[in-house]
Structures are given as C-alpha cells and as structure tokens.
Structure 1
Amino acid sequence: MKALIKFSKFTLLAFAFIFTSCSDDDDNGPDNPGPTANIVVTAQATTELSSLVSALQKADESADSDLIGALSGDGPFTVFAPTNAAFTDLLAQLDGYSSLDDFNTQELQNLLAVILKYHVISGDAAFSTDLSDGQTLNTLQEGATLQVSTQGGVFIIDATNVDAEVTTANVETTNGVVHIIDKVLLPQAILDELADIILVSITDLAIGNDNLENLVAALIAANEDLPTVLRGDGPFTVLAPTDEAFENFLGGDELGDIPVETLTNVLKNHVINGELFKADLEAEGSGYANTLAIGAGDQNISLFYEVDGDDVEFNGGPNVETADIKALNGVVHIVDEVIDLPNIVDHALANPELADLVTELTDGGNTTFTDLLSNEEEVYTVFAPVNAAFDAFTNPNSNPIGDVLSNHVVVGAAAFSSGLTNSYVNTFAEFDTDENLSLYINTDDDTVTLNGSSEVAIADIVATNGVIHAVDAVIDLPTVVTFATADPNFTTLVQALTTLTPGTDFVDILSAQDGNGDDPFTVFAPTNDAFTALATIPAEADLTPILQHHVIDGENIRSGDLTANGVTVTPATLEGDTFSITLPGTDSNIADITDGAGNTGIGIDAVDVQAINGVIHVVDTVLIPDTEN
C-alpha cells in the first residue's frame, strides 16, 4: 500500500507540470497563426510545469504506461492541468511523503498513471464555452468521471469534497486544449488506495470515524458553521469525545436541549489553535493551552493538560484514548469525556499544583469559597498560591486562614495581565466586616508583584467566570506598613520612618493589629515628590514629630467619614496636633488639608487604601505640625 501511495504522488506532480506550461493565447489572428506545439512539448517548455513533467515521466517508467506518447498524439484531448502549488498541496496531504523521490516503485508508477489519466478527456477539445453546469465528463481513466460546475466560476468536481477551480482556461495546443486548475483531481479508486495515508480535514476525519458520530452531530447542530471552520487552514488540535462520552455528557437529554450558544462554546473548548502532538505534551509535562471557547472578558478559555506516564489528561478528567491522529489541518486526540466549560473552581481542582489551596478553601466542609467562585453571575480575579507557597507560609500574625484566602480574591473584575498597572484594587477580605481590604499591584520590571511579597508565576488562566493568576507566596492580610513598603511612591517615607528616625520604632507601632497597639491608624502618606519639595529633610528630632503628625491612632477614617461639602477637623495625631480637611478639594485634589502649622492647599490625591489595621490616604505635601506648641 505504501508503495502505491508513493507512486501516485510522484505522478501527480509530473502531470501538473506538463499541463500548466501551455500558452493561454487562443487568439488566432493574422499575426498569430495558432498553436505550434502539442500538449507535452508546451508543458516541457514551461518552467512552472517541471514537476508535472517529471511526474509524467515517472509514470511512463512503468511498462503499462505511455502517457507522454499518448498526449503527443493526434488527439484531440481536453486536459485539466494541476499547478505546481496543487501538487505541493497533495504532498502535504500524504502522511510520510515529502518529495517525488519517495515514489520509486512500479506499483506506485501505475497508480500515478491512473491519477494522470483522470485529468484527461479523450476525443474532444472542450473549450470553456463547451462546458456547462452539471455536465459529466468521461475521463481517459476507464469508468472514472468528472462533474462540471459553473456556479461562481468554473469548477471540476472529483471524488473528494474539495472542488478544483479553473484558474486559467482555454490554453490551446496543436492536439487539444488545457485548463489549468488549482488542485490534483483524485478518483474514488485512488482514494480507496490512499485511505491509510491520505490526510483529510479534521471535519472529514470525524465524519469518517464511526465512534465520533455524536461529535459530528453536535458540530452540525452548533450555531456557527464549525464543520467549515475545522476544514479551514488551521492548524488545529482537536480533542474529540467518543460517542459514549457524548452520551454521558447529555445524561439522557438531546443535543437540541442544550442552548445553541452553550453547545457551540463547549465544542470550541475542544479546539486549540496550533498542533500539539502527544510528544509535545510529554515534553512539557503539564501546562495550559487556550481553546477557541470564549470565557470571562471575551478571552479564550484555558485548558490544563498533564501527562502521567502514557496517560494524558485535560482539566483533571478526560483522558486521551487515541493520540496523534494526523489530519490535513492539524491533529486529533480522541478523549473519553466531553470537556465542559471550566469555572474558577474547576480550574483549581484540575491543577495538582493548587491542591493545597483547594484543601484550605474547603477545610472543615467550608463551602463559602466554592459557592462564591462557582457563581456564573459574577466575575472574579483570583491570585492562587501554589502548593509551595502554602508550605512556606507561617501566618506570623495568626490571621484566620479564611480571611487570608479572601485577600486573594477580587470580586467584580476579571483582571488580565495585559491590563494590569501599578494600582490598588479591593479584595474580598474585609476590615471590621464592612470595608474591603486593598491589594497593591506592581508591574515594574515586567513582573507582577502583589503587596510587595508575592509574584505571579502563571498568568491568565481563563475561566467562564473570571481569571486565575498562580502566585508564588501567600498574600497575608496587609498592614499600613505593608502598603508603605510595597508602593514605590513611598520609598522616601519608608526611609524617613526607619533609617532617619532610629529612635522611634514606627514599623512596630504601625504594624499593630487586633487592638494589640494603638491601631487602627489613619495615615496621611506623603509621596516621594512631597519629600522632594522640602528644602531639606529635617534631622531626627524635628522629623519624628512631623511623621507623627501624619498619623491618627485609634481611628479608621475613610473618605466617606468626612463632612460632605464642608470642613472636617480630625482627631489629634500621634504628635498631638489636629488638622482640617476640606471636601471637595481644589484643582485636581480630592480634598484639601490645612496642616497643624496652618499651611493650606495640601492635596489628597488618593483615598481609602485599606489595611487590616487602618487606612492610608495619599498626600502631595509633607504635613507640618504647630511648631510653637
């Protein structure tokens, strides 16, 4: 069989070269006496038909074939001549054959002759005006016919499901006429001979597999023309569920019971752009690929794969039963389950690197997080610590683990890596049960860092209801110190609170939580630019009360607690003075501050950065206390 296949390929190439070399000039006027060469000579004189000529010569090496002699005879003949590109396409469809050198036996030469004869109509020179829609043409290959279609052009229909288009018509020769076409024509007998190695599209492969009938039915029932999509160029990797897999998925229902939009997306969740053979998956071991299905934020849904010995699993469930079924436009793996659309919980369960996270989320039968993150009516961003992150986490502040886990969930937004910037977001964790904690995202140096301590290791695991970013460290509940050290806008403030004021342990004071110190704190944090605006940063004796003037202890004063359209006089600061806040502010300020020394026009630029032990508001000027009291 393989020998037959090889020869057929070689013949096709030769045939295409011969015919495409013909001249397309059919104007026999006074200055053009008409064609002077027969079909073979015309082909031999045309560079673009050299492979076709070679194939014709290869076919005639068989004792049973003399095509060159026949096509050099009186004729008349009508020849449909495939281009060089058409033969290249055919080679691509034949698994294991890459050049004419692979066609080297008499058996293959005979097969090649059959293919070439299928392109020849003997006894008639049929110009394009002689061809009609629906016309049947008897070929030189006995018993094999071609059909003509003139719908939208001139097409020649063979035994395959792809028609050949006439790209150049009426190339007249001394013994007939040639029409150049864009594919090699194949009769049914040749398709039968090539069945073991000819590559068809993924759709046609599924249609020809008796165990994929339910998949084909589902493809046809889908809203989009998925069969046509999977006949496209690709390449695709398709995970094809068996008939039994579909029956289990439907659970007694019919395909028509599934909303068309849902069915379409489920089917797309089995299609990956690009070719992934089993060896490719084995080389990676585990990882994520994106399917054509659409999830949160109109992003392509992620698919987790893992290889364990000979087993290949997807999303923690479906196994590959048969791998690496090569198609013309990709590769098919037959799987034993339908891969449903994954939500965030499904993704967490599928990846063994998130097993500790799942254990913590469900500890003691807790369903808070599984219920929350299975909700399809909301979207979430989850920063998911990997197993090693939990191994390293000591929970130094003895925070309830449920609260810590809540600090990894952002509700109401699917934040993809491409849209992340240096900014604050609110998590599901709360201060005093009514104010959501903040989370600082830093994207400097092409690394996403959270609260200065946890980095994103795997970004953009897309689910139906949000996105997961796997992180390398557990994100503990933040204090006001956490944000000061995490946000690069506060590097000078951190220096002032530490190395410039060693006599006061500001870090220890401002890290107190749960009533173990003077917490909660309301901190008005000057930016680096605010310190730069000072003529000089004062020495410790003067700097310490200045820093204390930015902190109110025992209060968590948020922007909503300020007097609307009025002036709020704050409680006393750690330094002892008060200051006033005018809402709204002037210019671009959210609010204006008059500090203890009476300086005005100090702007609050950002508000309500919420920590577990207080809140930070960002100011553009260093506050000065009353130096006379």
Structure 2
Amino acid sequence: MKTLEKIARLTFVLFMLSMVSCSDDDEPNPPKTQLDIVATAQATSDLSTLVSALQKADESANNDLITALSGEGPFTVFAPTNDAFADLLAQLDGFDSLDDFSTQQLQDLLAVILTYHVVPGAAVLSSDLSDGQTITTLQGSTLSVSTSGGVFIGDATDVDARVTTADVVASNGVVHLIDKVLLPQAILDELSDIILVPITDLALGNENLQSLVAALQAADGDLPTVLRGDGPFTVLAPTDEAFDAFLNGAQLSDIPTDVLTNVLLNHVISGTVTSSDLASLGSGYAKTLATGAGDKNVSLYFDATTDVTFNGVATVQVPDVKALNGIVHVVDAVIDIPNIVDHAVANPNLSSLVGALTNGGNTVFTDLLSNEDEDFTVFAPNNDAFTAFTNPNGNDLNAILSNHVVVGAAAFSDGLSNSYVNTAAEFATNENLSLYINTDDGVTLNGTSNVIVPDIVASNGVIHVVDAVIDLPTVVTFAVADPNFSTLVQALTELTPSVDFVSVLSAQGGSGSDPFTVFAPTNTAFEALPSIPAEADLIPILQHHVVAGANIRSGDLSDGATANTLEGDALTFSLPGTGDNIADITDGAGNTGIGVIAVDVQAINGVIHAIDTVLIPDTTN
C-alpha cells in the first residue's frame, strides 16, 4: 500500500484552514446544546464504532480528529452507524476489526476516510439539502445529494448511503446518521488490492470476464441483482475464451433467455467454497442454483485430486478471488446443464459403468439417457461394484444394465418408499422387470444393492450411485428382498429342508420348470393360520401356490379362468375381486374369496402376485 503521509498532512492542513476561515457570518449556527459533535456521538449507542474509529485514527501523531470535531465549528457530519462500519470491514480483505488499523499509515488512511464525512463551515439540516447538490468535504473530495425517495449521499462508489436519522443537532453542528461508510476515490485507489466488491461488480471490473457480464445482462434481468445480494455465493466464472467456445459462433441473443439463465445459475453455488475446501474433500458433488429434473437443484461434480475440475469440462485457472458476498473461481469452460450421460462420464468412479454402456461402440444407452424429452432414474454401480460382479447366471450385460434404469420418472430419495417400480429390462414377453425398493435402513434395491450417493440431479433425471450391480431378479430374489414375504421364505427354506425350493424357483431361460407364476402369501396371511403345518403337509401347500411353465400376469386373468399348480390341483379366478381385491381365488380345497392384493411383480423367470390368505390344496385326492 502506498504511503498516505502526504494525504494525511494535507487533510490536517485543510481542516485547520477551514477552522480559521469559518466565522459566525458564514452560515447560521444551529441552536446551542450541551453536547458537541463528539459528545453527541459518544452518547449515541449506534455510533460507538464511529467514536472508536476516531480514537483509532488519532493514535497516529498526524491526526487529532476528536479535538477538532469538539471545536467551535460549525460542522455537518454524516455519521456511519455501527452496521455501516461492520459492512466496511467485511469489504476489506484481512480486516476483522478496527484493531487491524494497526500502523500509522493505516491510521492516517482511516483519518482520510473519516474526514470525508465532515463538511466544514456549515450546519446543514436535511431540509437544506437539495436533489443534485454537490458538497465539498473536509477531506477535499465531493459528495452528491439525492432526495428522491429519501435523502441519499453519494461517494466515489456506485452505492449511495441513505440517511437513516437526520438532524441530530449538536452545539457545534449537526449530525446525520447514514447506513454506509463513504469512500473517496483516493481511498478506493489505495485499497484496490484489498477492498472487496459484490461478485457482479468484480466481474464488471475484470477485463477477462466481459462475456460473463454480457451474459448476465442478457439473461434474467434480476440475475445481476441476485449476485449483488448478501450471499454468500461461490461463482465459477468462465473466461471470455470459454464463452467463445461455448457459443461456437452464435450470439448470446440466439440462446433463449430461460436457457441462458439456467446455464449461468449452474455456475453458482450457495455458500463459500474455497479451493482448500475442495482439496480437503477430494471429489464429490455440490448443488448449483440451476434447476434440473423435478425442479431440483442441479448437481455439480468436482474433482480436486490434481487440478480442480467441475463436471469434467471446466478447470479452475484462478482460484479464490474474494468478493464481498462470496468467492469466485475463474474457469476455462462454460458448464452446460448436464444430462444423465454427462454426469456418468464426468465421474471417474463410474468409468466401468460408462465402459459397459458403450462397449463395442454401443450407443443404445447413450442415446436413450441423453433424451431430454423424458425423465430417468438411474441406479449407477460404481467401479468397485463392477469389479465384484461375477454375473453368476450368465445374463446378457445389456439386459443387466437396463435393469438399473427406470424410464419416465425422476425418483429422488426423499420420495422413495418400500415399493416396486419397473425398469427398462424386459422379460421374454416384453414385460418390464420389477425392482424392489426398500427404505427401512437407507435405500436398498432387490435386497442386494445399496444407494451410497443419492440424488445426483441432471437435466433429464437423477442418478443414485449404488454399491452392487443389480442382477436380473428371479421370483426368489423378490421373495427374499420384500420383508412382507419373510414367513414365506422361511417356509420355503428352513421349514422344508427336504425340497430345494430355492433352486427350483431360481431356474431361468428354460433350464427348469420356468417361467413361474407365484401367488405369494404375505406374512399376515400366514399369521391367520392356526399354526404353520409340519414339513410333510407344508410342502404340498407351498407347491399349490406355484403355476409352472406360465408367466400369467393380471391382464391374462379372466373371470372363471383356471390354472394348474405344481401340487396338481387347480386355482380358479373370479373377476372382479370383492372389496379391494384385484381378483379372488378359489383354491384346491374349495376355499373362496382369497384376495389377490398386489399383482405383476415381474422377474426374469416369472411373476409374483401377493395374496392375503394361504392357499390350501385338496387333501382328499
């Protein structure tokens, strides 16, 4: 910082000359009171910081402001409130309190600021101020007056101070309380390397960010104002070259305003995120102010393991440019709103997934998941999940990958519950496979795969990173995964050890009696039994719930239709069902009104329908 000794001495000389030149004939003095200007400030709680600032400035041998302002006057003082001084300190990088004005140079600097608030030779009431008036201060620079909508005092910045309390009369002048510390141009020049301005103003003053400024002006008219707000914000500011590459010969006016606004908001993160913060995290996701699928804030992937990059496309060139309301990182590319594919490509922890999706030049998945006309939910296995997956059933990899995609919905974690959804994978008859979501403890899929990074928001959907590949489910998979069938699983396994029901019902691709249609009794259905039968009687009961060699969906059922079970007896269906039942079943023993309460849980080797009563076969045949 340049020395201010000459400025301070000149200021003091001007002050002393003004004291000599002021006479009772210059201006009418205000009515005498007991307190002078300094004592008035000391008696006003909201001016305690101003009093401390006068004391701090007077620690330099060059200054004696308190004595001067206690003199005969008259003076007009525009007195910044405590909040005004707090705002000034927030603008000064490295200044937390007035104690940081710790050297004679800095104290002289503070004196220059304070004398800029003093008008010598007159006690000017607010009624004497006029719109457009110019006032010369004790510091030697001028202030401007605006009376439109109140009384405002303009300094060398582009933000005026508002008079919050006018006409506090003292024995040697008048005080007007203002909500901002006034700064002359000389101070702005001296503090140019440490004074912080709002993010928008910082961009305005940077010759390499003029395209960003133009984009802000061309976008939503409120956006520059937003970035002048309190924040704090973290802004990734693309250079002019970055905008040239993004536009690729087009003009900003060629981009629809709402699209341009959303792209710009994709460079803004709420809160202050420094490069050291990113480095300590290594990599991960932040949310921008842009809007993606489901009106959720778009996710932004950062990787700070070497250079700091965002979404794999933008690298930080200049980090940690401090602003009054946040921080700016200058980046070398415009970050467009990412779709599902963009997010997968950007995250190196999903490189195995990307490789599988595009293996052999395959574009089916990239074409599908780049579609902006439909939303998707993707459960994305990370690299460790792919490393651990052995594909024990030898299923087609494309079918397995499809089983991780839900088409037509962006399902966010806060909206998930224990339920079934359909994936893009298909059974042989072109029926979409089901996926069981359990939220009892986190989010688990088909009982085997856990969500470890939820809600990566894209323009066309959401990604949830999972820790295991979700293989194509069998009817056994769903029975084990769904806690509503836990008693059924117990009956099929530990209560009937002489029959390997799991192997029988896991057959797929025609390797056994598949496909199967399973009418699965819920836990409540088993609880209604007096007791669960012994193994010899339980085996035929369980077989009576399975139709082999057919994938009978609810749409295939009709009133009066029958189907033979593995046990040998037939089931008869009645449509519509009674009450809330989707259909009613008459079992082999002639029991009627057994309700089908949920249908079409589709596996790769059959379909499950939940029922509310255990089916009993004919025990007389």
- TM-score, with structure 1 as normaliser: 0.93
Deviation per residue, 1:308-349 (Å, 9 max, x gap): 33x111111211101010111111000111111100000000
Whole-angstrom CA distance in 2 between matches of 1:488 and 1:352: 35
1:211 corresponds to 2:208: yes
Query: How many angstroms apart in 2 are the aligned matches of 1:485 and 1:152?
Result: 71
Which of 76, 80, 89 is matched with 1:78 structurally? 76
Corresponding position: 1:493 with 2:488: yes
Separation (CA, whole Å) in 1 of partners of 2:604 and 2:163? 74
Query: Which segment is superposed worse, 379-388 or 170-179?
Result: 170-179
Task: State the Cα RMSD in Å.
Answer: 1.7
Contact 1:569–1:578, Cα closer than 8 Å, also in 2: no
Q: 1:138 aligns with which of 136, 139, 153?
A: 136
Give yes or no for contact 2:56–2:98 (8 Å, CA) kept in 1.
no
Equivalent of residue 358 in structure 1, options 354, 357, 379: 354
Q: Secondary structure at the match of 1:210?
A: coil
Q: CA deviation at 1:132?
A: 2.3
Instruction: Give the secondary-structure state (helix, strand or coil) at the position aligned to 1:211.
Output: coil
Matching residue within 261, 264, 277 for 1:264: 261
Cα shift at 1:4: 6.5
Q: Aligned pair 1:613/2:605, yes or no?
A: yes
Distance 2:41 2:220 in 1: 47
Q: Is the 8 A contact 1:498 1:505 kept in 2?
A: yes
- Cα distance change, pair 540–353 in 1 and its aligned pair in 2 (3 A): same
Following superposition, the deviation at residue 42 of structure 1 comes to: 1.6
Task: Give the whole-Å Cα distance in 2 for the aligned partners of 1:184 and 1:374.
Answer: 52
Q: Which residue of 1 aligns with 2:28?
A: none
Tell me which of 563, 574, 592 is aligned to 1:600.
592
Q: Which residue of 2 aligns with 1:20?
A: none
Cα distance change on mapping 1:433 and 1:595 into 2, 3 Å = closer
| Whole-angstrom distance in 2 between the partners of 1:269 and 1:458 | 20
Q: What pairs with 1:273-352 in structure 2 (closer than 5 Å)? A: 273-309=270-306, 311-352=307-348
- 1:584 Cα deviation after fit: 1.7
Residue 125 of structure 1: how far off its partner (Å): 1.6
Q: Offset at 1:92?
A: 1.1
Instruction: Tell me the SS of whatever aligns to 2:304.
Output: strand
Q: Note the C-alpha offset of 1:433.
A: 4.6
Give the corresponding residue for 2:374: 378
Counterpart of 1:561 in structure 2 is: 556
Deviates most, 38-47 or 263-272: 38-47
Are 1:627 and 2:615 counterparts? no
Residue 456 of structure 2 is matched in structure 1 by 461
1:597 positional shift: 1.3
| 1:574 corresponding residue in structure 2 | 566
Letter in 1 for 2:152: F
Give yes or no for the alignment of 1:426 onto 2:422: yes
Name the CA distance, whole Å, in 1 between partners of 2:199 and 2:339: 28
Equivalence for 1:167? 164
In 2, the alpha carbon distance for the partners of 1:404 and 1:190 equals: 67
Q: Supply the AA of the counterpart residue of 1:84.
A: N
CA 1:532/1:186 → structure 2, altered by over 3 Å: closer, same or farther? same
Cross-structure match for 1:90: 88
Question: Does the C-alpha gap of structure 1 residues 3 and 197 become closer, same or farther in structure 2, counting only changes over 3 Å?
Answer: farther
> Where does residue 195 of structure 1 map in the other structure?
192
Shift of 1:47: 4.1
Which residue identity is paired with 2:269?
A: I
Residue 215 (structure 1) shift: 0.4
Report the Cα offset of residue 225 of structure 1: 1.7
Question: 1:141-156 to 2 correspondence within 5 Å?
Answer: 141-142=139-140, 144-156=141-153
2:446 to 431, 444, 451: 451
Name the counterpart of 2:125. Answer: 127
1:107: how far off? 1.6
Work out whether residues 49 and 81 of structure 2, in 8 Å CA contact, stay in contact via their aligned partners in 1.
Answer: no
Identity score, percent? 73
Separation of aligned partners in 1, 2:175 and 2:551: 88
Letter of the 1:98 partner, please give it.
D
CA distance, structure 2, for counterparts of residue 506 and residue 422 of structure 1: 26
Is the 2:145–2:154 Cα contact (8 Å) retained in structure 1? yes
Partner of 1:250: 247
Q: Aligned pair in 2 of structure 1 residues 224, 620: CA closer, same or farther (>3 Å)?
A: farther
| Aligned equivalents of 2:595, 2:467: Cα separation in 1 | 37
CA distance in 2, matches of 1:34, 1:559: 96
Q: Paired residue for 1:28?
A: none
Matched-pair contact (CA < 8 Å) for 1:3–1:105: no
Q: CA deviation at 1:62?
A: 3.1
Classify 1:546/1:241 alpha carbon distance in 2 versus 1 (closer, same or farther; 3 Å): same
* 42-51 vs 111-120, which moves further: 42-51
TM-superposition CA deviations, 1:561-585 (whole Å, max 9, x none): 112xxx2322200011111122221
Identify the residue that residue 27 of structure 1 maps to in structure 2: none
Amino acid at match of 1:531: F
- Cα shift at 1:69: 2.4
User: Which residue identity is paired with 1:608?
Assistant: D
Q: Taking structure 1 as reference, are residues 423 and 129 closer, same or farther at Cα in structure 2, changes over 3 Å only?
A: same
Give distance in 2, aligned partners of 1:359 and 1:546: 47
Query: What residue identity is the alignment partner of 1:167?
Result: T
What is the identity, as a one-letter code, of the residue corresponding to 2:403? Answer: N
Q: Secondary structure at the match of 1:579?
A: strand
Residue type at the aligned position of 2:326 = G
Q: Would the aligned equivalents of 1:609 and 1:617 in 2 still touch at CA under 8 Å? A: yes
Match of 1:545 in 2: 540
The one-letter code sitting in structure 2 at the alignment partner of 1:383 is F
2:525 corresponding residue in structure 1:
530
Alignment of 1:52-63 (within 5 A): 52-63=50-61
How far off is 1:78 after superposition? 1.4
My pick for the range that moved more, 291-300 or 62-71, is: 62-71
SS in 2 for 1:607: strand
Aligned length: 599
- d(CA) in 1 for partners of 2:132 and 2:619? 101
Supply the distance in 2 between the matched residues of 1:53 and 1:354 (Cα, whole angstroms). Answer: 60
Structure 1: distance between partners of 2:605 and 2:221? 53
The letter of the residue matching 1:481 is V
Between the aligned partners of 1:312 and 1:568, the Cα distance in structure 2 is: 67
Q: 1:16 matched to which residue of 2? A: none
Code of the aligned partner of 2:201: D
| 8 Å contact from structure 1 (residues 306, 312) kept in 2 | yes
More deviation in 297-306 or 95-104?
95-104
Tell me the amino acid that sits aligned with residue 270 of structure 2: N
- 2:93 maps to amino acid: D
Distance in 2, Cα, partners of 1:176 & 1:197: 34
How many Å separate the matches in 2 of 1:255 and 1:361? 35
Which of residues 501, 504, 527 in structure 2 aligns to 1:509?
504
**Counterpart residue identity of residue 507, structure 1:** V
Structure 2 unaligned residues grouped into runs of 5+: 12-30
From 394, 405, 409, the counterpart of 1:409: 405
